[in-house]
Chains A and B, each alone.
Chain A
Amino acid sequence: MFNRAMKFAAVMGLFCAATAQAATSDADLKAIEKQLNTLGDRITRLQDLTDVEIVQHAYGYYVDKAQWRSLADLFDDDATLEIGGKGVFLGKDRVFEYMNIGMGGGGPMGPKDGSLIDHQQFQCLPTIMEDGKTAKARCIAFVMSSGGWGHNYYEDTFVKEDGVWKFKKLHGPFNMYAGYRQGWLDSVTVNTFPEKFQPYPDLPPTVIYLTYPSYYVEPFHYPNPVTGKPMPAPSPKAGGLAFGK
């Protein structure tokens, strides 16, 4: 740090004492402009990481309070949604129906006294793709509801349109759902399925799996941050009853 400060002092000294009137060349200006543009791209990526997380986190706060219209507004018009084993819903309107009918029972929107559905968004790991216009994020929802506990992942895709990041695909595979009294000792829900509740999906589930106490791992969208190696396949002998097909 001191070295850098001294280097700075030297630069400033030189700068204030300078009397030379050498004209700046176009080449100099072009070089700086190029540096600024490269830096600008990196700074934009840093902002993108925050903006993608904001969309994911805003989603969680809207679920908490059954604000299904605001929630659906986070999605692109032709976005898709797939949660648990329920199948795929196509388009923003169907995202709204899944939430309003499937989660909210079709009643009035907004929080209902005595009905806690907190969906806390944890541990987001966003990646901005090379094109700067698409992003993926792995996140956790930790659910504390009137029914008990839930833990699921997200592997979501976002797009940036007119400078605004939004959901292109929300995919929320379950890890564990359990009641309060016994916790995950035995009162668990291994997954939902398409006809379990209304509304019914537009497409079948993209992956069939049972979650805890069975084993399922949603593929990681990113390679190992240190080795750069892609995710290895889980051992076929791990996990017991069900694997993704």
Chain B
Amino acid sequence: MKNPLRAVPVVLSLSLGIVFCSTSFAQSEAERLTALKARVAAMADETEYVEAITRIQRLGHAFGYYTDKGFFGEAADLFADNGTFQWGVDGVYKGKARIRELLTRHGGGSMKEAPGLPFGRLNLRMQLQPMVTVAADGRTAHARWREWGLLGEYKKAIFWGDATIEDSYIKENGVWKIAARQYYLNYEAPYQGGWAKLAPVTGNWQSAVAKEFPPDAPAPLQYKPFPAVFTAPYHYADGNLTAIQSQPPVDLPKRADDKLGKLEAQADAKQLQLARTHSVRAIENLQAMYGYYIDEGQWKKAAALFSRQGSYEFGQNGVYIGNASIERGLSLMGPQGLEEGQLNNYVMVQPIIHVSEDNRTAKARWRSDVQLSRAGTGGWGGGVYENEYVNDNGTWKFSNLHYYVTFWGDYDQGWGAKPIPVSPPSKDIPPDKPPTVVYQSLPKLQVVPYHYVNPVSKKPHAGE
């Protein structure tokens, strides 16, 4: 994997430069002032970079809240004037007016009686798991998203929806907008039977909407939906790791006890605080990136996101240590790249991320809802991660990933009527160590230990 230029390498270079120069000869005040000015300018760039990630997350989330409730014009307004929307294999729709009508038709709304939805219509489209890469110029960006849909009509027909989204964004007059959305529909599966009972698609599978409302251009990529194996192209397929990078850890230098030294020390503190907020976003992206690789059975790529001494523990399968061993542990979920009919959706949501004071390590709690399919049988799952991360010279990696299974359940009967016990360690691909915690899944329930105290009262979790 190549090591691309980071978006904001200047801050580190400056820190090193200061150390180098200051050990060579004493700095004059003017020199120190020049260095401080350059450092503050670099911090301004980095602040804008982290803000961009949050704005893009906001755009995606806002889109979901609009489409949920039939505000399709407002959703289309999130696009640039010449923005485009590629819907599955249907084709590409160009411009806000066309995008509005596209969303209205797919969501069951009305172009006249808008915004809103008619009685009985459900169009909940949750926008999850953003993996945001902002370009070095700070003017364009890309993101991968997952859409999880609860769709259909009361007393008529209802569906689960699943799609991967690859967006590009543009910043115009200081405002981030969606420039192009590629919406890769994976399935709209009837509730009864679910995704596991879907038959392979043959021939043209353009939607009914496309037939009545033809696109402005054909789709640049043809593919078959689930149960076929399809991986939506990654915008980071070239190995660009910018999204999971922040500042490398640095030791805070001692500053002179003068006016300028106080300012230098103030800048040091702000710089560290900024680096830690940057790291939060890098860790969000890392977890999302890992999730998308798991979805697609990309065990090697997922294992490469761990540090060399990293460890991986899933349910009661035991602990796998080191990248090669972790790859073997991941392969318990299926063959590399998965097979037709296998679904392995691990939705990465609800992060609680704490970066250490020195920006060298981090811990995070996450949750996965799991949608599975193996050999025509569907399943649901849910569980909690308590993970640890390490800042490896500016690139965040997993040092320990630990997924605690809350439940597995049969799709047709549900987890209530038919919970499935958590599986023991594999005999074929044995772990390096036994499980660190022994527990049972639903119907048994237990609290997964928190890496944090109560965020408001600061009390530890005890006695409940």
- Report which A residues bind B (CB closer than 8 A): 1, 4-5, 8, 11-12, 14-16, 18-24, 28-29, 32-33, 35-36, 39-40, 42-44, 46-47, 49-51, 53-55, 57-58, 60-61, 64-70, 73-75, 109-116, 118, 120-125, 138, 140, 142, 144, 146-149, 151, 153, 164-166, 175-176, 180-186, 188, 212-215, 217, 220, 222, 224-227, 229, 231-232, 234-235, 237-241
**A151-B124, A212-B122 are known contacts. Are A11 and B38 too (CB-CB below 8 A)?**
yes
Interface stretch among B27-35, B213-221, B312-320? B27-35
Q: Beyond A22-B30, A47-B277, is A183–B17 a contact (Cβ under 8 Å)?
A: no
Residues of A within 8 A of B62 (CB): 125, 222, 224-225
Pairwise interchain contact B277-A50, C-beta atoms closer than 8 A: yes
Contacts of B109 in A (CB 8 A): 238
Residue among A50, A55, A111, A121 having the largest count of chain B Cβ atoms under 10 Å: A50
Is the pair B29, A237 in contact by a Cβ cutoff of 8 Å?
A: no
B158 A234 Cβ-Cβ under 8 A: no
- Chain A residues with CB under 8 Å of B457's CB are 70, 73-74
Q: Which of B7-15, B229-237, B330-338, B422-430 contacts A (4 or more CB under 8 A)?
A: B7-15
Q: Is the CB of A20 within 8 A of B30?
A: yes
Other-chain residue from B121, B406, B454 in contact with A70 (beta carbon distance below 8 A): B454
The CA of A146 and the CA of B177, in the complex, are separated in Å by 41
Given A20-B30, A118-B406, A184-B152, the answer on whether A15 and B69 have CB atoms closer than 8 Å is: no
- From DSSP, what is the main secondary structure of chain A's interface residues? mixed
Given contacts A164-B456, A235-B114, contact A226 B77 (CB under 8 A): yes
Residue contact A47 to B273, C-beta cutoff 8 Å: yes
Chain A residue at smallest Cβ distance from B444: A113
Are B350's CB and A15's CB within 8 A? no
> Apart from A46-B51, A111-B445, what are 9 other A-B pairs with CB-CB below 8 Å?
A39-B43, A39-B274, A64-B406, A65-B464, A115-B445, A185-B152, A185-B155, A225-B78, A240-B119
Residues of B contacting A47 in the complex (Cβ-Cβ under 8 angstroms): 273, 276-277
Residues from chain A with Cβ under 8 Å of B64 in the complex: 123
**Are A232 and B74 CB-contacts (below 8 A) given A113-B445, A213-B120?**
yes
Question: Separation in Å of the A218 CB from the closest CB of chain B?
Answer: 9
A65, B401: Cα distance in complex, Å: 22
Query: What's the A-B contact tally at a CB cutoff of 8 Å?
Result: 315
* CB atoms of A226 and B124 under 8 A apart: no
Decide: A235 near B113, CB < 8 A? Known: A110-B464, A113-B443, A186-B154. yes
User: Does A58 lie within 8 Å of B352, measured CB to CB?
Assistant: yes
Q: Given A51-B455, A114-B442, A164-B456, A57–B270 Cβ distance below 8 Å?
A: no
Q: Nearest 3 A-B pairs (CB), nearest first?
A: A238-B116, A240-B119, A111-B445
Roughly how many angstroms separate A35 CA and B44 CA in the complex, as a whole number? 9
Residues on B with beta carbons closer than 8 Å to the beta carbon of A186: 154-155
> Is B459 on the interface with A (CB-CB < 8 A)?
yes
How big is the B interface, by class? 35 or more
Task: Output the least CB separation between B150 and chain A (Å).
Answer: 6
Among A18, A60, A142, the most chain B Cβ lie within 10 Å of the Cβ of A142
> Which residues of B lie under 8 Å from residue A166 when comparing CB positions?
456
Q: Verify if B223 is at the interface (C-beta below 8 Å from A).
A: no
| Contact of A29 with B267 in the complex, beta carbons under 8 Å | no
Closest residue of B by beta carbon distance from A138 = B65
Contacts of B35 in A (CB 8 A): 11, 15
Task: Flag if A114 contacts B443 (CB, 8 Å).
Answer: yes
B363 at the interface (CB under 8 A from A): no
User: Do B464 and A70 touch across chains, with their CB atoms under 8 A apart?
Assistant: yes
B116 CB contacts on chain A under 8 angstroms: 215, 217, 234-235, 237-239
Are A122 and B126 also in contact (CB < 8 A) when A15-B21, A50-B280, A54-B455 are?
Answer: yes
Would B454 and A74 count as touching, CB distance under 8 A?
yes
Chain A nearest Cβ from B175, distance in angstroms: 6
In the complex, which residue of chain A has the Cβ closest to the Cβ of B33? A24
Would A43 and B350 be within 8 Å (CB), given that A18-B30, A238-B113 are in contact?
no
Q: Which of B59, B351, B459 has the most CB of A within 10 A?
A: B351
Chain B residues within 8 Å of A234, by CB: 69-71, 115-116
User: CA–CA, A46 to B74, complex, Å?
Assistant: 26
CB atoms of A188 and B150 under 8 A apart = no
Tell me if B367 counts as interface (CB < 8 A to partner A). Answer: yes
A122 to B350, CA, bound (A): 6
Chain A residues whose CB sits within 8 angstroms of the CB of B380 once the complex forms: 144
Closest chain-B Cβ to A228's Cβ sits at a distance in Å of: 8
CB distance from B50 to the nearest CB of A (A): 6
Given contacts A18-B30, A112-B445, contact A120 B349 (CB under 8 A): yes
The answer to whether B447 touches A184 (Cβ under 8 A) is no
Give 1 or 0 for each of B253-271: 1 = CB within 8 Å of chain A CB. 0000001100100110010
* Separation of A55 and B270 alpha carbons in the complex (Å): 24
Interface centre among A4, A67, A164, A175 (most CB of B within 10 A): A4
Of all chain B residues, the one with the shortest Cβ separation from A139 is: B61
| Residues 33-81 of B contacting A (Cβ, < 8 Å) | 33-38, 40, 43-45, 47, 50-51, 54-55, 58-59, 61-62, 64-65, 68-71, 74, 77-79
